[in-house]
Amino acid sequence: MAALGPRFAERSEVHDRHATFPTQNWADLRDAGLLGLCIPTSDGGLGGDFVAYALVAEELGRHCATTALTFNMHTATTILVGQIADELDLATAERSLLAERRSELRRGIVEDGRIHSQPFSEGAAAGATAGYSTRAVPLDGPAGGYRVTGRKIFASLSGAAHIHNVVCLVPGDDRIRFMGVPADTPGATIEGDWDPLGMRGTDSRTLVLDDAVVPAGNEWLPPGAFDQAATRWPYFYMTLSFAYLGLMRGILDATAAYLRGDGGTGPARRDHPIKQQGWAQMNLTYDRAQSLTYRVLAECGIDPGAEQVRRAWSSVVTVMEGAPAMASVALQVCGGRSMLRPSYLEQAYRDARCGAAMLPWSVEVCLDRLGRSGLYPEQDEAPV
C-alpha cells in the first residue's frame, strides 16, 4: 500500500474537485490483489485479518482518504462473512451454507474483480440493528431468493459496486438478513446527486430498491447471524476510523513538508516558535489517537467486556474529533495559502469534518454511550 499511495495522492485533488469516484485507484487495488486483502490464501486472497485491514486502511488514508473510506465498504463485507462469521455460534447446517455462499463471494472478488459495497444507513435510527424498513419478501419456486424493497442513503460506491450488500428484514421474522443485491438486477437504481462538503469521491448517492430480485445464494449470512455479529463483535463498527487515522498521518506529512521547506513548498519555517507549538499540538493529537486505536486493535475479538467496548467508543471519538482538530491547527501553522485549492490541507480539512457524523458509531452516538458507561451496571446494554 505504501508503494501505491503516492500515485493515489496525485489523483486525489481531481476526484475531490469533480466529486468523481477513484476508478483508477480501484483498478490498482485490484491489480495488487488488495480486493482480496481479507480473503484466505486458500481462496486466492492475501489472508489478512481485522488488524491487517486496519493497518492497510490507515496507510491508504494517509494518501487518499476517499479511497480508504470506500475500500472499507468493500473489505468490511469480507471480514464479516470471514473472520467474524467464523467466531459466531452457528449450527452445522448454517456453517455449511455459509461456507458455500461465501466461497462464491470470494471467487467473484478474486477472479472477476467484483467490488462490494455495504450500504446500511436508512436515516431512521442510530442503532446497528434497529430502524431498518427495507424488506425482503421470499420468492416462490425451487430457486428461492427474494424481492427486496427499501432505500439506503449514503450508499458509497453507488455507481461502482457490482454488489450492494444490505441489511433487511423478512416480514414476520425479526432476525436481520444480510444479502447482496446485484447492481444490475431489475428494480435496483441509484438516485440523486453527490456534492458534499468532503469525502467527495465516495459517490455515496441513494440506493433505491423496488422489488429488486436477489438470488438465494446472495444471502451471505444465515438469518440472525448479523444480529449476533453486531452484539458480539462490535469492533466491526469502528472500521471507518482507520481511514481517518490515516488522514491524520497525511496531515502531519503535509505540515512537516511545509515547515521543512520540502518539495518546493518554500523556505523552511521550522525555526518559528509559534509554528513549533502548533506542530507539537498536532503530534500530541495524532499520538493519542493512534495509541488508543492500537490498544483497541490489540484486544479486539469476540465477546469483549464492558471496558473493552468503552475503549473502542473512546477510540472512535478520539480519531473522529482529532482529525478535524489537527487539520484546523495545520491550516493555522501553514498559513493562508494552505486554504487555497488545490491545497492538500484545504481538502483534508473538509474530509476530516465528515467523520464525526458517520453512523452507526458517530461521535454523537459514542459520546452518549460513554456518558452512561459504568454508571448503570444493572443495565445489560448491548454494545451496538
The pLDDT value given to residue 258: 94
* Residue after which a domain boundary falls, among 86, 115, 144: 115
The pLDDT value given to residue 337: 87
| pLDDT(266) > 80 | no
Give the highest mean pLDDT range of 116-130, 233-247, 364-378.
Answer: 233-247
Cis peptide before 360 (omega within 30 of 0): yes
Place of cell 438516485: 191
Give the highest mean pLDDT range of 40-49, 114-123, 368-377.
Answer: 40-49
d(CA 242, CA 335): 28
| pLDDT(124) > 70 | no
Kindly list the distances between the CA atom of residue 4 and the CA atoms of 104, 143, 185, in Å, as whole numbers in the listed order: 28, 43, 33
d(CA 131, CA 147): 20
d(CA 38, CA 242): 15
- Which amino acid is located at 344 in the chain? Y
Kindly list the distances between the CA atom of residue 314 and the CA atoms of 104, 303, 370, in Å, as whole numbers in the listed order: 37, 18, 8
Counting residues of the chain whose pLDDT is more than 70, the rounded percentage is 95
Kindly list the distances between the CA atom of residue 170 and the CA atoms of 135, 158, 213, 295, 308, in Å, as whole numbers in the listed order: 6, 24, 14, 39, 33
Nearest Cα to 208, choosing from 148, 289, 251? 148
Question: Using one digit for the tens of pLDDT, what is the confidence trace for 210-230?
Answer: 999 999 999 999 999 999 999
256, 340: one domain:
yes
Kindly list the distances between the CA atom of residue 345 and the CA atoms of 186, 276, 353, in Å, as whole numbers in the listed order: 42, 18, 12
The pLDDT value given to residue 269: 86
* Residue after which a domain boundary falls, among 222, 254, 272: 222
Cis peptide before 342 (omega within 30 of 0): yes
Place of cell 493515489: 8
Q: What is the mean pLDDT of residues 187-195?
A: 97
284, 263: one domain:
yes
d(CA 15, CA 22): 6
Radius of gyration over alpha carbons of the chain, in Å?
Answer: 21
279, 341: one domain:
yes
Q: 326 in the Ramachandran plot: left (φ > 0), alpha (ψ -120 to 50) or beta?
A: alpha
36: domain range? 5-115
The pLDDT value given to residue 126: 54
The pLDDT value given to residue 71: 98
65, 194: one domain:
no
Q: What is the mean pLDDT of residues 101-111?
A: 98
Q: What angle do CA 85, 91, 93 make, to 5 degrees?
A: 100
CB 142, CB 182: distance < 8 Å? no
The pLDDT value given to residue 307: 94
Residue 182: give its domain's CATH number. Answer: 2.40.110.10
d(CA 132, CA 130): 6
The total of structural domains in the chain comes to 3
The pLDDT value given to residue 365: 95
Counting residues of the chain whose pLDDT is more than 90, the rounded percentage is 87
| pLDDT(104) > 70 | yes
| pLDDT(2) > 80 | yes
- Cell numbers given for 354: 465528515
Residue 379 lies in a domain: no
* Residue after which a domain boundary falls, among 91, 115, 139: 115
Q: What is the mean pLDDT of residues 99-114?
A: 97
Q: What angle do CA 328, 331, 332 make, to 5 degrees?
A: 90
| pLDDT(265) > 90 | no
Residue 65: give its domain's CATH number. Answer: 1.10.540.10
| HSE-up of residue 292 (Cα within 13 Å, Cβ side) | 22
Nearest Cα to 85, choosing from 73, 75, 93, 95? 95
| pLDDT(12) > 60 | yes
Residue 290 lies in a domain: yes
Express the helix, strand and coil content of the chain in percent, nearest 5 each.
Answer: 55, 10, 35
